[in-house]
Structure 1
Amino acid sequence: VELDEDLMAVYLEQGEALDPAQLHDPFEKALREGHLIPVCFTSAKTGAGIPELLRVFEQLMPNPLEGIPPLFLKGEGANAEEVIIKPDPSAHVIAHAFMVNIDPFKGRLGICRIHQGTVKTGSQLFVGDARKPIKVNQLLKLNGGAHTKIEVGVPGDICAIPRVDDVHYNAVLHDSHDEDHFHLKCIDLPRPMYGLAIKPPREADAQKTSDVLHIVEAEDPSLKVEHNVALNEIVLRGLGDLHLRAVLELISDRHNLKVETALPSIAYRETITEKAEGHCRHKKQTGGAGQFGEVYLRIEPLPAGTGFEFESAVVGGAIPYQYIPAIETGVRQVMESGANYGYPMQDIRVTVYDGKHHAVDSKEIAFVQAGKKAFLEAVKKAAPIIMEPVVDVTVTVPSRCAGGVTGDLSSMRGMVSGTETIPDNRIIVSGQVPLKEIQEYHSRLKSLSGGEGSFTMDFSHYAEVSAAAIA
């Protein structure tokens, strides 16, 4: 009432005896401005409150034509322009796929709301900027678990299109190439940070596990499946422990698959901090043709993130050029498996500068072994260290929790780099923390902030860590 001066005057005259028709316009204004948020208590199980809720919709709520239209944009980035969509059944079709459900019997269901135009069985629609249309073989009306076939969908209808693999979450379906680059303004979903390593119960279930994980990822935009090639590990990330527990229960109930879970492994690395040289003479005689190869090499550390470099400085044919790749193969084998702690190595330059060969007994396998052993000898002299991944962390919490969060990050071998105050009495704390320390941070942050905090993390760099700290 206080939003409308005329209605306020009427209210002061009539008291509480206001007609619902008088409340409609100010009620709509209050809803638009977020001044008023209706709360209705109902039970879908017993039906309690449903008639009253429908009566509220009918008498008080703005009708769909009065509602705030969805914000469609054309183009990408800063060049995107706002597009006005009208609920006109005779206009071009524009529908938004807000959900994907993969049914074991009906296949992939793209659940869409039609905002403009008319969709009929047999229609052809484009998904996003795809050049090839999809055919609407069936159109389903959803009512709880019941799917009813319909022939026509009009603006305002929520329909499902079955067996269409191209439909994905947030896709725009249309029937003209004029709308190829239409999209809804993105909803800022929380990034999935909490992860669990997923392992199939048996090797025979590996393919089934992979298929099921991609099914739940397609259905839930807040899930992310990662495959860590270096660790040969599949990681499922979600919004927290409760979220992933619900997903794992869904996998168990719907797909009859109980997967094994653990915290994701940490991708540690080895490197060196000093220059060193190594030498190996590989000589093996077994009665027939033997094996002979001798290698001298030097190693030196490279700047962080450079990777691996191999070069040959051999002169005078001490090692024939055809054996140089064999030496590199031996070195790379150690780089991949680790020299001291079993972790892959990085940021090292290897230079082969001398050696010997035998006209009869020299073979590639001999120089592979010689290169490997010479490299191992050099690494032992080059002050090797273990490196751990460090992540950039951004924690958003109520302002009252800032002190607790900064102290907690510091206790995790972290470093706080700054804070920023944002609206709604909240603060952003930025810093860097070793990945190992922050893997289970969801539960700690929940305790510190009373469930009102969130955080994101991105890989930053590798930093030296003691062997005791990773045990």
Structure 2
Amino acid sequence: MVLATRRLNMPALPIQNLRTVAFVGHAGSGKTSLVEALLFAAGATRSLGTVERGSTVCDYDPLERELGHSIKCGITHGAFRGLELHLLDTPGFPDFAGHALPALTAVDMVAVVVDARNGVELQADRMMRAATERGLCRMVIVNKIDAPNVNLSAVVADIRARWGRQCLLLDIPAHNGRDIVELLDHDQGSGDLGSIAEAHRVLVDQLVEEDEALLARFLDTGEDPSPMELHAPFEAALRQGHLVPIVFTSARTAVGVPELLHVIETLAPNPAEGNPPRFERVDGEEISTFPVRPDPAAHVLAHVFRTWYDPYLGKIAAFRMHQGTMKKEHSLLAGDALRPFKAAHLYRLRGKEFDEVDTLVPGEIGAIAKVEELNLFTVIHDHPDEAQLRVAPITMPRPMHGVAVETRKHTDEQRMFEVLHKLEVEDPCVLVERHPTLNETVLLGLGDLHLRILLQRLATRFRLDLTTRPPRVPYRETITRPAEGHCRHKKQTGGAGQFGEVFLRVEPLARGAGFEFVDAVRGGVIPGSFIPAVEKGVRRGLLEGAVAGFPVYDIRVTVYDGKTHAVDGKEVAFFAAGRKAVIQAVQAAEPIVLEPIVAIEVSVEQGLLGQVAAELATRQGHVNGTEQRAAGMATVIGEAPLAELGDFGSRLKSMSGGGGSYLLNPSHYAPVAPGAQTRLAKAWERQEEADA
């Protein structure tokens, strides 16, 4: 990759000529192919790439070409009839939600792509709900209408049942899916879904309700407003969520693609027509909404929605411009950082290609290289008054699938941690945990596929030779009743000695309360300068555990008495006394081991519901409910101990022929069975003896 594949010497466009659209949906629904077809139809590319040949603009990563699916948010742009289109192609596997969800913060329109063969699938539903919660303008694209034996009426019914009656046809297939009829311009004839006149009437009736003057005229004369007159009501209906238009395409045959391009051109909101981006001002604990204006003359305001590391350019930050005009060499600020930076180069992106530009205006998506301060959701601005602004948070799934990693060569260990940090920077759903007591580094992701891709990247892109194994389950310990502990630490080996004595009590706290340390010492029997050492010792003792070697949570520790020595009283002595006293107290407080319970969603064919329920039962889990989906699919919602789900992915793959998927989210901690606690305690004892 070179610094810039081409330089664009063109004036900044008015914001009315800008469109930003994110294509979201389930894996295999054809999002990448649809973006490719739109670029080709707009004249932005000279040839039509395909996923099968690995020649699409957005899926340029070697792992994407090998997998045949997107694994990151593809970013591209193209000109069309005086417009500038900024298109985001998001991955459809739930494992890569960390690359899909942030895209919602960067666009004015979300296009939810639905496979005509399968109806509303899991990730399409999740992304639609997330876009709705964000208050974004939305549309539905039913793709692959050329597939054999599709039932478009059933798909539309499924869409409306799941996402509301506001989902209305904007166009309609005709002649067995070979043509598309736009309903705003046509009110006669019949299509593959029935009467064009009836569908036209439903759409127009919905739109005229958005404009009182149009509605009054329509009721008086009975004449339909012109498509031009319906533009403003259409935008209002999109903003209010009163209309979610449904259109039909086949990316493979290009049926419906020109019509979709026309919809984006004439009806998709520009930055001034969409709902304003959600920014907040944080002042201490007070959070207020911050109004954003897409005004090129205002202060610069943008935010980062994707970061990654390029082998030649270093760290890349892709961002959405919301306000002001950003220019090369402009002095900018990152979040609340006080030191300004300058963007030596500004880019628009076309997949892997960088187009250098001189300016960026509200509504555009740009990129900056080699600015380490720019991370996901960092606000870019040019005025100190904006230092406390942030993008309203978007809920991310928590990574729960883990693998323990270790370098084969000890000399690679530091580099491994540096590379793992880069993975965390690139994907908000990647988490690296270091467990010193277990001497274990765990790489966490959203699923087996996610972890497999991450490990492949570590091996091929970063040349790291790692060994992997299942991670230890993150058990916890807690106490069930109050107890007291005492330790006098005394060490005399000639010369200056060590002396520190601590009395403390422990009490259980509510689940999830964590740790609370209380200094109740009176009269200076433990000098105030030694209390921090006592607390450090207490924390160390709780980290080491008292039953099976797991950290102790949900506990209050109160230090109330002790003794020191004028000469031998030292921090190290009070550290040791605090550690030993709290371990003694925990052991006397009837401690128990807790295990993580996770919420699980399993998507399978309806005929497998019984097998999934039985499988969860064998793993000490249970089913809380089921949801029926289109195309014979269903979702099982339940809970299970994380320790029991180690091989659930492979079992589900075998059970469903590879057609099932599942998602884990943390739920709560619960006591393990008494037999399990005994086994864990004995295993810890054996390990302690081996290490002695």
**TM tier, shorter chain?**
0.5 to 0.7
Is 2:596 the partner of 1:391? yes
Is 2:75 the partner of 1:75? no
8 A contact 2:474–2:595 mirrored in 1: no
Shift in Å at residue 467 of structure 1?
7.4
Where does 1:100-139 land on structure 2 (aligned, <5 Å)? 100-139=307-346
90 and 411 in structure 1: CA distance in 2 versus 1, 3 angstrom threshold: same
8 A contact 1:121–1:137 mirrored in 2: yes
Q: 1:164 maps to what in 2?
A: 371
Shift in Å at residue 154 of structure 1?
1.4
Shift in Å at residue 247 of structure 1?
2.3
Amino acid at match of 1:225: V
The 2-side partners of 1:141 and 1:30 are apart by 31
The 2-side partners of 1:31 and 1:93 are apart by 27
> CA offsets per residue over residues 303-337 of structure 1, 9 Å max, x none?
469999551399xx9xx994879xxxxxxx99999
Structure 1 unmatched ranges of 5 or more: 271-301, 326-332, 348-378
The 2-side partners of 1:196 and 1:218 are apart by 19
8 A contact 1:20–1:59 mirrored in 2: no
8 A contact 1:114–1:156 mirrored in 2: yes
The 2-side partners of 1:225 and 1:19 are apart by 57
Is 2:464 the partner of 1:257? yes
> CA offsets per residue over residues 263-301 of structure 1, 9 Å max, x none?
21135689xxxxxxxxxxxxxxxxxxxxxxxxxxxxxxx
Question: What's the secondary structure of 1:227's corresponding residue?
Answer: strand
Shift in Å at residue 93 of structure 1?
0.7
8 A contact 2:300–2:326 mirrored in 1: yes
Q: 1:35 maps to what in 2?
A: 243
8 A contact 1:194–1:442 mirrored in 2: no
> CA offsets per residue over residues 354-404 of structure 1, 9 Å max, x none?
xxxxxxxxxxxxxxxxxxxxxxxxx9xx99x99644124445689x99999
2:263 aligns with one of 56, 77, 82:
56
The 1-side partners of 2:551 and 2:351 are apart by 55
307 and 231 in structure 1: CA distance in 2 versus 1, 3 angstrom threshold: farther
| Residue-pair matches, total | 391
Where does 1:182-261 land on structure 2 (aligned, <5 Å)? 182-261=389-468
308 and 39 in structure 1: CA distance in 2 versus 1, 3 angstrom threshold: farther
336 and 248 in structure 1: CA distance in 2 versus 1, 3 angstrom threshold: closer
Q: 1:146 maps to what in 2?
A: 353
Q: 1:455 maps to what in 2?
A: 665
> CA offsets per residue over residues 21-54 of structure 1, 9 Å max, x none?
35534443443316324456475x9999765543
232 and 387 in structure 1: CA distance in 2 versus 1, 3 angstrom threshold: farther
Shift in Å at residue 227 of structure 1?
1.0
235 and 22 in structure 1: CA distance in 2 versus 1, 3 angstrom threshold: same
Shift in Å at residue 427 of structure 1?
11
Shift in Å at residue 174 of structure 1?
0.8
> CA offsets per residue over residues 421-440 of structure 1, 9 Å max, x none?
99x9x999787x65422445
The 1-side partners of 2:263 and 2:427 are apart by 31
Q: 2:111 maps to what in 1?
A: none
Shift in Å at residue 66 of structure 1?
1.0
Is 2:375 the partner of 1:175? no
166 and 40 in structure 1: CA distance in 2 versus 1, 3 angstrom threshold: farther
Is 2:487 the partner of 1:311? yes
The 1-side partners of 2:486 and 2:613 are apart by 44
Where does 1:273-422 land on structure 2 (aligned, <5 Å)? 303=479, 311-312=487-488, 322=497, 343=549, 388-395=593-600, 411-413=618-620
8 A contact 1:196–1:262 mirrored in 2: yes
Select the structure of larger CA radius of gyration.
1
Shift in Å at residue 164 of structure 1?
0.7
Question: What's the secondary structure of 1:252's corresponding residue?
Answer: helix
The 2-side partners of 1:71 and 1:336 are apart by 40
Shift in Å at residue 67 of structure 1?
1.2
Shift in Å at residue 219 of structure 1?
0.7
Amino acid at match of 1:143: R
Shift in Å at residue 241 of structure 1?
1.2
Q: 1:98 maps to what in 2?
A: 305
8 A contact 1:267–1:389 mirrored in 2: no
8 A contact 2:294–2:362 mirrored in 1: yes
8 A contact 1:386–1:466 mirrored in 2: no
Between 24-33 and 104-113, report the one with greater CA deviation.
Answer: 24-33
Q: TM-score of the superposition, structure 2-length normalised?
A: 0.46
The 2-side partners of 1:107 and 1:442 are apart by 35
Percent identity (aligned): 34
Question: What's the secondary structure of 2:460's corresponding residue?
Answer: helix
96 and 468 in structure 1: CA distance in 2 versus 1, 3 angstrom threshold: same
The 2-side partners of 1:141 and 1:462 are apart by 54
> CA offsets per residue over residues 183-211 of structure 1, 9 Å max, x none?
12111111111111122243332223222
Question: What's the secondary structure of 1:21's corresponding residue?
Answer: coil
Shift in Å at residue 130 of structure 1?
1.7
Shift in Å at residue 123 of structure 1?
1.6
Shift in Å at residue 178 of structure 1?
1.0
Question: What's the secondary structure of 1:222's corresponding residue?
Answer: coil
8 A contact 2:271–2:294 mirrored in 1: no
8 A contact 2:302–2:323 mirrored in 1: yes
> CA offsets per residue over residues 42-72 of structure 1, 9 Å max, x none?
75x9999765543331123233321111111
22 and 96 in structure 1: CA distance in 2 versus 1, 3 angstrom threshold: same
322 and 429 in structure 1: CA distance in 2 versus 1, 3 angstrom threshold: farther
